Amino acid sequence: MGNDSYRVTRRIFGVGVFGAGVVASSLAGIAPARAQGTPKRGGTLVATWGGGEPQACYVPAGGGSSPTFSSSKLFERLGNRTMEGKFQGELAESWKPSADFKSYTIKIRKGVKFHDGKDMTVDDVVYSISEIWKKYAAASALTDFAGVAAPDAETVVMTFNTPIPEFFFSSLLCGNVNYIVPKHVYAGSDPVTNPANNAPIGTGPWKFKEWVRGSHFEYVKHDAYWRKDMPYMDRLIIRYVRDPAGRAAAMEAGDIHIGVFNPVAPPDIKRLTGTGKFVATPKGYEESVWSTTLECNMRNPIFAKREVRQAMFHAVDRSFIAKTVYYGYARPGTSPIYSPNKEFFTADTYKTGFDPKKAAALLDAAGFPKKADGKRFAVNLLAAGWFTENGKIGAYVKQALEDVGIAVNLSVPDRPTSIKRIYTDYDFDMAISNQANPSEPVPSTTQYFTTDGIKKGVPFRNANGYSNPEVDALVAKIKVETDPAKRKELVFQFEKIITVEAPLLPLVELESITVASTKVQNHSNDPNYLAATWYDIWLAS
Amino acid sequence: MQRLELPRFEFIGRFARNRGALIGALLILVVALMALLGPLFFPVDPLRIVGQPELWPGEDPDFPLGTDSLGRDMLSMIVHGARATLLIGLFASAVATVIGVGVGATAGYFGGWIDEIAMRAAELFQTIPNLIFVLTIVVILGSTLTNIVIAIGVVSWTPIARMTRAEFLSLRDREFVQACRAMGMGDLKIIVTEILPNALPPVIVLSSLVVAGAILFESAVSFLGLGDPNVASWGRLVGDGRLLIRSSWYICAIPGVAIMITVLCLNLIGDGLNDALNPKLRDR
Amino acid sequence: MAGELASSTASPRITRGSSRRVAALRLLRRRLIQAVPLMLGVVVINFVLIQLAPGSFLELMTAENQVSDPATIALLRKTYGLDDPVWLQLLKYIWALMRFDFGFSYRQNIPVIDAISVHLPATLLLMISSITLALAVGIAAGVVASMKVRTVWDTLVSVVAMFFFAAPGFWLGIMLIVLFSVKLGWLPVGGMATIGGASSGFAAVLDILHHLLLPTLALGLFYAAVYTRVMRSSMLEVAQLDFVRTARAKGLSRNRVTISHVLRNALLPVVTILGVQMGTVLAGSVVIESVFSWPGVGSLLFDSVSSRNYPVVLGIMVLGSLMVIAANIAVDLVYMWLDPRIEIR
């Protein structure tokens, strides 16, 4: 297929964190466009992304990157995070914790109107949190949620059963699809099948006008938008093109102005930027860093010894994957917390670098010497086929493991079968999968490693069955530690344990790219730009 | 009914008179030899990364046909692919022939409601868009070689069944069959030992064409990324090269040529067999 | 080829005195009645096939939406009738189909029929243009080859036909893209219309034709090769028949005989094969659509298969088979029109 329509994304909460320019980029000429001169008003902006049309314009639980992209222009969240890493209010004006950190008081912005002209009130906020966030959008983050109430017309109070760190709470308010939705549209219906999901009514800068299936969304300026005189442009078109070559051609012809999340194939990135009419930037993905991971199924007794797991990673040349499979748009991963995460990443971890000799020695020592046929043991390697790159990595990892004497049977099932085999049936010895993580590690990162992350049938959790009381206790502490400095230390400790234990580690951290015409101003200015509202974008003439 | 008693030299002579068929047979022989002996010349797993990615054919003498996007040897993949491709074609054709002959023979021999049901079933399978059915089967049951072979067989049997039925219809009331019945021979024995050998020639022609069709099906399945990833398949190579047509279109071109030549030769052989086995159709 | 000729569903019989219209209507009625068990079979086979799938669409949907709450899952199961036994689900589906209700696409949150009908025109356009191309080229080439039988022209036509008969359509498509889009830059690499181009009027039609050319060639040339071969042999065969010899003996010119007598009769096998292959053309368009990003049913099928959106997959299968049956009936009628002596058994 070569088709990347349905990208997996984890719609945990999380959006936030800074980390401008941490990425060692192999690109040239990539400053994100800041406002140059006076913004021009009016006109139509045509945007696309590196995947296909969404299943619905808005999916309450997220539904992947595609509906997140299309819905995030229409809805807004309570908070937002700047490129510099500061949290700021969007539909909330401010929020602050109680002394025991078990409740948070949120001041709601006044004068916000939905696209249908109705005022946004605290009732909408209470409804969204209790009915949408708790049940769909942020279910895995809100495990200790106790309730939400509106004591007056400007205030909403969220209460929890345990202390909640402020960073965690702020990240929650900025979460991917943790939107404020209109109660008068959703109350009394099944939010998943509500027809409004295909013609959403939100508070965002853009108002839904039309969806021509198979082609595009047309959004128009929301005249009653609460940010005065915004947005600058009159229309926003989100155009879907099935293949990267078609996107490149459309951009070259000037028909598409901006494409987020790897809209064109790597060779075309260089060709487009080479004309001087386009810029390519890795900025705007700091809060949604993608990685390709390798994990060992602990249910297989071979992997009970951590030396064997470490050996698997030592056998693989991650630089080769970054260079050849991703054409340099990736970097070797070292820790379960990714390097753009300025809050919690540490380089001071156990390193499983490329060292086949060490891998062989570890395997010998673990009691798996080469047998007469030159093999130590055989494994089933599953590469999740939702990205074509995973299949290629699978082919390479197969060969790398064979080089240290492990027989490998590779399978590259498509998306549904991969999800089922990895996350429901646990039918693999080793698996290649992907994650996209925000800065806040709980629960999105930690649930890959904790015992309570083992949830049969729920994808993008702990599928390898790793269960370590030490890690569980540590994560429990991270969850409730309200002192930022202490919390950071705990996360560092978590990273050290996981890198030594190696049940699952990133092979590479992916460098997502936005390609835009040089005419487009004010883009890539949010750490999760795909899911930003794009209220301030404009097009120079 | 005399067809099989055709003297052998006459059969070969008729076949060889069709020059296209002769060329086809020789080329297929080369492909088959490649499939058999290839592993001797390229003992390494063809899916191994052995060099720089995207080397053009001729750029590096070690890789006469270049390398793919990961740095795997194109020549080695083509040679090993021949094996997979031919095997899939043959086995799928075998599956189709077994089903087709079974259904067709039963329908033609017994007639009546059995015939009615069998022919309705054939019509049914002809109605369902074949490749879509193959894709759905493969997706649902998993992308293994066995499943692909079965799926292709399941959609390819109808012409064979119709042909077999037609032959059986014309043969079942001949004197020699009636003689066997009179001698008290069982239906199954009559079908297998008496009628089938005489009905086979046109079926063989058709089966050889089904091999060609099966190769095309397999290549399409693999091209769409639903093939078996442990097998070097020509169709998958074309699919892999698809995103690189701007820089390295040879990755698509070479395996496609291999598919085309193989299918072409099989079709030529089919024509030749047709000439040799069905003399009355010779001048078509 | 031999097999397809032999498998012709139509076998000729001379009618006695019934007028052609009555015969046509009778044929239509009989065919429609026959279509009912056929459709039922199609539905049952595909329904059963989809039941064999490991991993239901519900699992996928909940997985995708990260719903792990058992109560929610139970509610969804109930909503979609998954707790019913399979046979009841099947009966319900057939009952719904009778009211032309193809079910509901949960993933897209719209009825299946709406999801399909958005994509259907593009596929029909591609199929019709490809068949038209195949018929025009195939008949012309076949006639030329048969009239110049055993000359260089005949050989040339046969060799070219052999090649297109053997080339995989998807590969041919990619090679056409390499040549005409990447190297020469004459034609677009894919899609059905220029993004941001004219949306109506003559310019838009021209734009679509521009995009249609390569996919039509990729899909149509294979069938053109088929028809060329069939047409050639059929022309040669008909030319041997008595009535042609008689016509020629009467002193009619060779070309006149060819056009008025041979061609018309020689078309019959082509028409038969066209009917037989209708399903193949539809299936072939799925692959070609994927090569050219053509926004047809093929792309919908692929997305639906890869998201296990079974109601849509089933809907496409059933609708596709329905189209094939309809096309076959149409072909039978054409057959009858071409040869007034013939009624179809």
**What digits encode the pLDDT tens for the residues A278-330?**
999 999 999 889 999 999 999 999 998 999 999 999 999 999 999 889 989 99
Q: What pLDDT score does C314 carry?
A: 87
Asked if B187 and B109 touch (Cβ cutoff 8 Å), the reply is yes
Q: pLDDT tens across B2-60, in order?
A: 444 555 667 777 777 777 788 888 888 888 888 888 777 777 777 777 777 777 887 87
Do residue B243 and residue A245 have CB atoms under 8 angstroms apart?
yes
> Sign of dihedral through CA atoms B7, B13, B15, B17?
negative
Distance from CA of A399 to the nearest CA of C (A): 28
Q: Is the pLDDT of residue A27 over 50?
A: no
Distance CA A267, CA B246 (A): 9
Asked if A14 and A224 touch (Cβ cutoff 8 Å), the reply is no
Asked if A466 and A501 touch (Cβ cutoff 8 Å), the reply is yes
Contacts of C191 in chain A (CB under 8 A): 241-242, 246
Which among C166, C191, C199, C344 has a CA at the least distance from the CA of C272? C344
> Among C110, C189, C308, whose Cβ lies nearest the Cβ of A416?
C308
Do residue B259 and residue C284 have CB atoms under 8 angstroms apart?
no
Distance CA A342, CA A307 (A): 30
Among the residue ranges A482-496, A527-541, B159-173, C60-74, the one predicted with the least confidence is C60-74
Q: What pLDDT score does C62 carry?
A: 66
Residues 6+ apart with CB under 8 A from A237: A44, A45, A46, A47, A216, A217, A218, A219
Which chains would you list as touching B if contact means 3+ CB atom pairs under 8 Å?
Answer: A, C
Contacts of B251 in chain C (CB under 8 A): none
Say whether residue C62 is in contact with chain A using an 8 A CB cutoff: yes
Do residue A395 and residue B47 have CB atoms under 8 angstroms apart?
yes
Other Cβ atoms less than 10 A from the Cβ of C98: the count is 8
Q: What pLDDT score does C56 carry?
A: 65
Classify residue A129 by its DSSP letter: I
- Give the burial string for B227-237 (b: 16+ CB within 10 Å, else e): bbbbbbbbbbb
Strand A258-260 relative to strand A514-517, pairing: antiparallel
Q: Which residue of B has its CA nearest to A395?
A: B47
In a mutagenesis test of the A interface, which of B146, B223, B246 is the best target, namely the one with the most A β-carbons within 10 Å? B246
Say whether residue A62 is in contact with chain C using an 8 A CB cutoff: yes
What is the distance, to the nearest Å, from the Cα of residue C283 to the centroid of all Cα atoms in its chain?
A: 7
Do residue B127 and residue C279 have CB atoms under 8 angstroms apart?
yes
Say whether residue A416 is in contact with chain C using an 8 A CB cutoff: yes
Q: Between A and C, how many CB-CB pairs are < 8 A?
A: 126
Which among A261, A316, A265 has a CA at the least distance from the CA of A289? A261
Contacts of C68 in chain A (CB under 8 A): 139, 455, 457-458
Which H/E stretch holds residue A184?
Answer: helix A183-186
The pLDDT mean for chain A works out to 88
Q: Is the pLDDT of residue B259 over 70?
A: yes
Other Cβ atoms less than 10 A from the Cβ of C184: the count is 9
A231 preceded by a cis bond (ω within 30 of 0): yes
Residues 6+ apart with CB under 8 A from A219: A73, A74, A206, A207, A208, A209, A235, A236, A237, A238
pLDDT digits (tens), chain C, 345 positions: 333 333 334 444 444 445 667 777 888 888 888 888 888 888 898 888 887 776 666 776 666 555 556 666 777 777 777 778 888 888 888 888 888 888 887 777 788 888 898 889 999 999 999 999 999 999 999 888 888 878 888 888 888 998 998 999 999 999 998 888 888 878 887 778 776 666 677 888 888 888 899 999 999 999 999 899 888 888 888 777 777 677 777 776 766 666 667 787 888 888 888 887 888 888 888 889 888 888 888 888 888 887 778 888 889 888 888 888 888 888 888 877 776 565 444
Q: Which residue of B has its CA nearest to A267?
A: B247
Q: Is the pLDDT of residue A478 over 80?
A: yes
Q: What pLDDT score does C125 carry?
A: 93
Say whether residue C299 is in contact with chain A using an 8 A CB cutoff: yes
Report which of residues B98 and B18 the model is more confident about: B98
Do residue A193 and residue C68 have CB atoms under 8 angstroms apart?
no
Which among A381, A456, A378, A452 has a CA at the least distance from the CA of A419? A456
Contacts of C188 in chain B (CB under 8 A): none
Q: Tell me the β-bridge partners of A155.
A: A107, A152
Q: Which amino acid is at A62?
A: G
Band (pLDDT 50/70/90 cuts) for residue A355 is: very high
Say whether residue C36 is in contact with chain B using an 8 A CB cutoff: no
Distance CA B20, CA B35 (A): 22
Structure tokens at A298: 């602990």
Band (pLDDT 50/70/90 cuts) for residue B282 is: very low
pLDDT over 90 percentage in chain A:
68
pLDDT over 90 percentage in chain B:
18
DSSP assignment of C20-64: HHHHHHHHHHHHHHHHHHHHHHHHHHHHHHHHT-SS-HHHHHHHH
Do residue C55 and residue A424 have CB atoms under 8 angstroms apart?
yes
Q: What pLDDT score does A13 carry?
A: 33
Q: What pLDDT score does A2 carry?
A: 35
> Among C163, C178, C287, whose Cβ lies nearest the Cβ of B249?
C178
Q: Is the pLDDT of residue A161 over 70?
A: yes
Instruction: Using the structure block, give the residue that is written with the tokens 């929301």.
Output: A222
Strand A258-260 relative to strand A206-212, pairing: unpaired
Distance CA B228, CA A384 (A): 14
A 295-354 residues inside an 8 A Cβ radius of C? none
Q: Is the pLDDT of residue A428 over 90?
A: yes
Strand A430-437 relative to strand A289-296, pairing: antiparallel
Residues of chain B that touch chain A, judged by Cβ-Cβ distance less than 8 Å: 45, 47-49, 53, 69-71, 139, 142-143, 224-226, 229-230, 239, 242-247
Do residue A324 and residue B53 have CB atoms under 8 angstroms apart?
yes
Distance from CA of B284 to the nearest CA of C (A): 5
Residues 6+ apart with CB under 8 A from C331: C271, C272, C274, C275, C278
∠ at Cα C143 (C3, C235), nearest 5°?
A: 50
> Among C65, C110, C295, whose Cβ lies nearest the Cβ of A63?
C65
Which among A415, A450, A431, A174 has a CA at the least distance from the CA of A336? A450
Say whether residue C306 is in contact with chain B using an 8 A CB cutoff: yes
> Among A10, A195, A424, whose Cβ lies nearest the Cβ of C59?
A424
- A172-192 mean pLDDT: 91
- A357-361 mean pLDDT: 95
Distance CA A278, CA A284 (A): 17
Class level of CATH domain C112-338: mainly alpha
Q: Which residue of A has its CA nearest to C308?
A: A416
Say whether residue A91 is in contact with chain C using an 8 A CB cutoff: no
What is the distance in angstroms between the CA of the first residue and the CA of the last residue of chain B? 22
Q: What pLDDT score does B71 carry?
A: 83
Band (pLDDT 50/70/90 cuts) for residue B229 is: confident
Q: What pLDDT score does A441 carry?
A: 93
Distance from CA of B186 to the nearest CA of C (A): 29
Coil, helix or strand at residue B67: strand
Say whether residue C65 is in contact with chain A using an 8 A CB cutoff: yes
Do residue A395 and residue B70 have CB atoms under 8 angstroms apart?
yes
Distance CA A494, CA A504 (A): 13
Do residue B141 and residue C317 have CB atoms under 8 angstroms apart?
no
Distance CA A138, CA A123 (A): 19
Do residue B163 and residue C313 have CB atoms under 8 angstroms apart?
no
Asked if A83 and A20 touch (Cβ cutoff 8 Å), the reply is yes
Q: What pLDDT score does C57 carry?
A: 67
Residues of chain A that touch chain B, judged by Cβ-Cβ distance less than 8 Å: 1-2, 244-245, 265, 267-268, 271, 324-325, 383, 385, 388, 391-392, 394-396, 398-399, 402, 409-414, 417
Q: pLDDT tens across B153-207, in order?
A: 999 999 899 889 988 888 888 888 888 888 888 888 888 888 888 888 888 888 8
